[in-house]
């Protein structure tokens, strides 16, 4: 009888060269053949993927209904990361395929990155760096610098990363409020933060808004022209979640027109930035969808995906499942 197969699918665009699957193979090699394939974002899946018993899917590659219909014996699709918006959950469920993710591998890194962006905005690190390197010493940005203990941080989405960000922010003296209709009553008491009843209330109240919710049909384009208009002109917006949650064009207009004081984005809608005009938006810090990055986090992510794939090929219960199979 032929052995089970686990296929790791990685975008060619990634600078990822571990063809030997050095993290995954030791976990899987006694129960399955392990293969890595590299694809362009729009390339069709080859036979090696369609024949796999479990697929480990790196970020960016889409698995839609027609693709899922081509799987012959797949038991699980494991998203090598937190987000799973690139996989058609319903189509997979109809075929009895579990879709799983790794929701906790980058919790610390993303929370740290969010705080780094917040602190860089508040302490105006990049304008001050540029001024110092011009051999100047004018501190022209001092009006945008604030004492953190006077500020309200509004968190949208109090999941793992939202909580980790809240705890870090409290240590810096922020008053922390959050909006998340999906968390249980009383969680705010355990974390020591304040709950508000609506996104509008949070946007009006906060001096800095940090996005930590998943990308879903509910949250796609969640922050647009109307929502930005509710924010204080002195406020900052930070997004380390998914780019498509915040509409790029109205945000950049607000920054250019001075209706928002600054933004820190690790992710952007239709990433990366597309034009020199976008890149020259004032009071904007952008990083390269890198908030999750650390060698330790990557090993944790890949080993968790491999363990879930191992359970799937052995017919054992999987975990971190995000779709419901009848």
Catalytic residues: 242, 271, 289
Count of helix runs (H) and strand runs (E) in the chain: 13, 12
Q: Please say whether the beta carbons of 267 and 243 come within 8 A.
A: yes
Q: Three-state SS for 195? A: strand
Residues 6+ apart with CB under 8 A from 170: 176, 192, 193
Q: CA–CA separation, 24 vs 230, rounded Å?
A: 47
Q: CA–CA separation, 161 vs 175, rounded Å?
A: 17
Element of type H or E holding 164: helix 160-171
- Main-chain dihedrals φ then ψ at residue 96, nearest 5 degrees: 75, 25
Residue-wise burial string across 52-72, b where 16 or more C-beta atoms lie within 10 A, e elsewhere: bbbbbbbebbebeeebbeebe
């Amino acid at each position: 009888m032929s052995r089970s197969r686990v296929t790791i699918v990685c975008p060619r665009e990634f600078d990822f060269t571990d063809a030997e699957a050095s993290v995954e193979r030791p976990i899987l090699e006694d129960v399955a053949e392990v293969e890595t394939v590299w694809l362009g974002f729009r390339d069709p899946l080859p036979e090696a993927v369609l024949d796999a018993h479990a697929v480990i899917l790196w970020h960016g590659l889409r698995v839609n209904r027609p693709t899922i219909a081509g799987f012959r014996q797949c038991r699980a699709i494991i998203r090598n990361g937190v987000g799973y918006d690139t996989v058609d959950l319903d189509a997979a469920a109809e075929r009895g395929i579990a879709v799983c993710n790794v929701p906790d591998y980058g919790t610390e890194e993303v929370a740290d990155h969010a705080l780094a962006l917040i602190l860089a905005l508040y302490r105006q690190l990049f304008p001050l760096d540029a001024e110092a390197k011009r051999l100047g010493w004018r501190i022209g940005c001092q009006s945008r610098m604030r004492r953190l203990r006077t500020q309200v941080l509004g968190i949208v989405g109090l999941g793992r990363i939202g909580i980790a960000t809240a705890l870090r922010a409290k240590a810096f003296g922020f008053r922390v409020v959050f909006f998340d209709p999906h968390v249980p009553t009383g969680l705010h008491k355990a974390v020591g933060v304040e709950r508000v009843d609506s996104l509008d209330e949070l946007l009006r109240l906060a001096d800095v808004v940090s996005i930590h919710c998943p990308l879903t049909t509910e949250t796609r384009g969640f922050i647009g022209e109307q929502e930005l208009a509710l924010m204080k002109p002195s406020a900052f917006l930070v997004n380390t979640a998914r780019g498509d949650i915040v509409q790029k064009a109205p945000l950049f207009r607000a920054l250019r027109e001075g209706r928002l004081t600054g933004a820190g984005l690790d992710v952007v809608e239709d990433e990366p930035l597309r034009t020199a005009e976008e890149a020259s938006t004032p009071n904007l810090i952008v990083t390269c969808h890198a908030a999750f990055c650390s060698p330790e986090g990557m090993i944790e992510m890949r080993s968790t995906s491999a363990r879930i794939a191992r359970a799937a090929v052995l017919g054992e219960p999987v975990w971190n499942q995000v779709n419901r199979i009848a």
